[in-house]
Structure 1
Amino acid sequence: MSTKPPLPAASEPGHPVARSTVRIEIAPATMLFALFLAGAVWMLGQLIPVLLVLICALMVVGTVNPLVQALERRGIGRGKGIAMVFVTLLLLVAAVLLLTVPALISQVTDVIEHESVLREQLAAYFANYRFTAPLADGLRNIHYTELLKESRNELLSASKHLIEIVAYGAAAFFLALYIMIDGDRLRGALFAVVPRAYHIQLSRILLNLQTIVGGYLRGQALTCLFMGLFIFILLTACSVPNALAFAAFGAIADVLPFLGIVLTMVPAVLAALVKSQTTAIVVFAMLLAYEEFESRALIPMVYGRALRLPSSVVFFALLVGGTLYGIMGALLALPMAATIFMVIDELRVSLPGESPDLETVEKLQKDAHAEAEYERRTEGLPAEQAAAIALSISDDRKKEEETGSPEPVPR
């Protein structure tokens, strides 16, 4: 009978230390979940245009819904109110296009026809100064034929994107109309899939989202309109030709945060510079003063409490949105950032180690009171009717916080 020699101890010198093998096994369910998650992320990336259409449609709904509700308070049915608001919106857009597009095309054509004369006048002005003389040579040596050949593919791509934007805009408009018509059923379906313990929070989020989106879009429309009117009046008063074309471009460019003022001022100042140096200085100074007035007074007054974001968050959100999705991302960055901050606030999310202050404690107490009232009033009711009651309770709570009036007596 033979015996095997004992294994050397790990502590004995001259002998290797025994190593343990670690095996990592991935469960089939985990692999399936990872594949499903990867497929969902890929599909989400493919559906980005559709999601943007949905977001734009929801923004239109948030903008026009207060108007429909105002008509309902005056005794007009919801269907008639929706029809009146959307027809008025279509007629308004058509009227603006009919009044501006023909004149804009005429003035743009005039600018193109006299481009060589305007370019020579501008080059002659630059040639009078030593630092701008190289710009004069560059202006005189521009060859549009070569530029058009080199940028033909870019022009075709831009035309394709423009058609896509128009098509997506029309789709967002009609999707918003359908959402408004089926609003009660869609809201009831949303509340049906969310546990009733979270209905009050959901209703507050929906109301605040409507305030954010509606306030943002109305603010954008008003600031762009005011910018276009100011440029048109300023250039007309200074006898600068083609004032409508520059005003329309300035109104559109004003949508872009930070870059809007640069894109607005450069064409207007160059057009005024062709007329005279004094005119260019006046136009530059007036546009700079108006931009300061817009950022300091007009925007806070127009937006009100719709967007409550620190300046650092605004700048970071614009950088992220513009980097990810270009102009559309920059336009949606601010309402998306405001929505994220609002949801965090409404869910009462606190950082680790952070103790709630007195205001947070009072909000939590009011939340508990509202949830108890909601449970009492919606016992046995379907989701659609319960959603309407939740929105009513949250709306009363919101008015109480804004006005400081006592909370209405529960019904």
Structure 2
Amino acid sequence: MKIQNPFRLGLLAGLGVLLAITIGNSVATLATILTYIGAAIFLALGLDPFVTWLEKKGMKRPVAILIALVAVLGIVAGLILALIPVIVEQVANLTEQITNNIVPGIQDGSLIEGIQNSLSFLDPQTLETIFAQVQTAIADPAFLTSIRDGVVGAGVGVANGVFGVIIVTILMIYFVASLSSLKRGVYRLVPASRRESFIDIAEQISVSVGRYVMGQASLALVNGVVSFLMLQFLFQVQYAALLAFIAFLGSLIPLVGTLSASVVITLSVLAFNAGDTFFATPIPLFAAVGVWYLVYMQIEAYVLNPRIMAHAVQVPGVVVVIAALAGGTLLGILGALIAIPVAAAVQLIIKEVVIPRQNEL
């Protein structure tokens, strides 16, 4: 249809721009919900290979789905139950430290004296000036207001995180239970002439994503378990369960996750352990933990990762780095998690669709 009237053409163009802006605003408004849905689909695809394996063992799909969900929720519940006592203990110790030592030390000046004795190379007058400013800031009512607002904001953030985990878990359960019907519904939307090739590519992508999620979760579980055993029984550090959980979470993030978690754990060992453990002083304990994680990262990179990920995704190293950086920039941790499977999917589409069409020209 040709539009010769300039007014009608401008009107339709304006309506198109308004529609595009409305769609963009709607997507931005629903960004959090879309992120939840994407994470739930990602996890559902990750559980699907385990469910399929149980089906091959003779179980019906509903039973296999139930077993898979119970296993995952059991692991999550176990980790939470292991962390709660540690977190409560840490908060209690921190509160006691602030109440009994830091606040009285600021009031009677003993804290200034202790810091001066520990940091004798600093100018005493400079320290006194700093603490005078701190005392003035504490006495300011705005300081208490900012602390209150920060505590409230932190509480809201924790509540939103818990709410997000609950929503993602519920959506994941629905997606796992109805994954086959969802796939069939999507396949019916594709023209019959292209449906067979579309199904083939979609199934390959689905399998690759599922294997990648299972592989990354396996690597994280190995890191978490080994870290707990080493920290608890060999190094005998405080808060071993919490530090092992940090190792588990770090290994879920590709490329830099294990390294970042190792640095955090090593610094935490230096900060929280007094040295009355398996090693004589904090410095050897700190160094020993750091050396252990250097060794573990080599084992993970050259032994565990190739074996576990051998049948998951085949993506060149440079593409992995670029995809992880781009995904992390766009969507944060979730983007870094899904970047490699998305890169594998794009690579597969190029290989199976784009290149054959170019060869036919």
Task: Tell me whether 1:247 sits opposite 2:230 in the alignment.
Answer: no
TM-score by length of 1: 0.65
Q: Distance in 2 between matches of 1:228 and 1:167?
A: 25
Q: What residue in structure 1 maps to residue 347 of structure 2?
A: 341
1:194-225 CA-partner distances (Å, limit 9, x unpaired): 10122223222322232232223223322222
For 1:8-407, list aligned pairs within 5 A: 26-98=9-81, 100-105=82-87, 107-109=89-91, 111-112=93-94, 150=146, 152-236=148-232, 237-256=234-253, 257-258=255-256, 259-271=260-272, 275-349=281-355, 356=359
CA distance in 2, matches of 1:143, 1:216: 51
Amino acid paired to 2:242? A
**Residues 90-113 of structure 1: CA distance to partner in whole angstroms, max 9, x if unpaired?**
333323433x13442354246536
CA positional deviation for 1:285: 0.9
In structure 2, how many angstroms separate the alpha carbons of the residues matched to 1:312 and 1:84? 38
Q: Is the CA contact (8 Å cut-off) linking 2:269 and 2:285 kept in structure 1?
A: no
Deviations along 1:367-391, one digit per CA (max 9) or x if unpaired, are: xxxxxxxxxxxxxxxxxxxxxxxxx
Give the Å deviation of 1:267: 1.6
Deviation at 1:192, TM superposition (A): 1.8
1:62 deviation in Å?
A: 1.1
CA–CA separation in structure 2 for the residues paired with 1:113 and 1:70: 49
In structure 2, the CA distance between the partners of 1:219 and 1:254, relative to structure 1 (3 Å rule), is: same
Report the Cα offset of residue 128 of structure 1.
8.8
Give the conservation status (yes or no) of the 8 Å contact 2:262–2:290: no
Higher mean C-alpha deviation, range 303-312 or range 286-295: 303-312
Contact 1:273–1:280 at 8 Å: present in 2 too? Answer: no
Aligned to 2:106: none
Distance in structure 2 (CA, Å) of the matches to 1:298 and 1:114 = 43
The answer to whether the 8 Å contact 1:253/1:263 transfers is no
**C-alpha displacement at 1:168, in angstroms?**
2.4
User: Contact (CA 8 Å) 1:107, 1:242: kept in 2 or not?
Assistant: no
Distance 1:29 1:349 in 2: 37
Deviation of residue 234 (structure 1)? 2.6
Q: Does the 8 Å contact 2:83/2:241 carry over to 1?
A: no
Deviation at 1:71, TM superposition (A): 2.8
What are the ranges of 5 or more consecutive residues in structure 2 without an aligned counterpart?
1-5, 103-110, 276-280
Query: For residues 145-192 of structure 1, what are the alpha-carbon distances to aligned partners after superposition, in whole Å with 9 as ceiling and x for unaligned?
Result: 969865654443343233223222222222232233333432232122
**Equivalent residues of 1:61, 1:176 under 8 A apart:** yes
Is the contact made by 1:71 and 1:81 (CA closer than 8 Å) also made in structure 2?
yes
- Measured on the aligned residues, the alpha-carbon RMSD in Å equals 4.0
Equivalent residue letter for 2:291: A
What amino acid sits opposite 1:101 in the alignment?
A: L
Preserved contact between residue 231 and residue 247 of structure 1 (Cα < 8 Å): yes
- Between the two proteins, the alignment pairs up a number of residues equal to 324
In structure 2, how many angstroms separate the alpha carbons of the residues matched to 1:322 and 1:217? 17
**Aligned residue type for 1:228:** G
Q: Given residue 35 of structure 2, which amino acid in structure 1 is its aligned partner?
A: L
- The structure with the larger Rg is 1
Give the 3 Å change call, closer, same or farther, for CA 113–251 of structure 1 in structure 2. farther
Q: What is the CA-CA distance between 1:286 and the residue it aligns to?
A: 1.0
Q: CA deviation at 1:227?
A: 2.2
Q: Please, which moves more after superposition, 140-149 or 216-225?
A: 140-149
Residue 354 of structure 2 aligns to a residue whose secondary structure is coil
Structure 1 gap ranges (5+): 1-22, 362-411
Inter-partner Cα distance in structure 1 for 2:291 and 2:252: 21
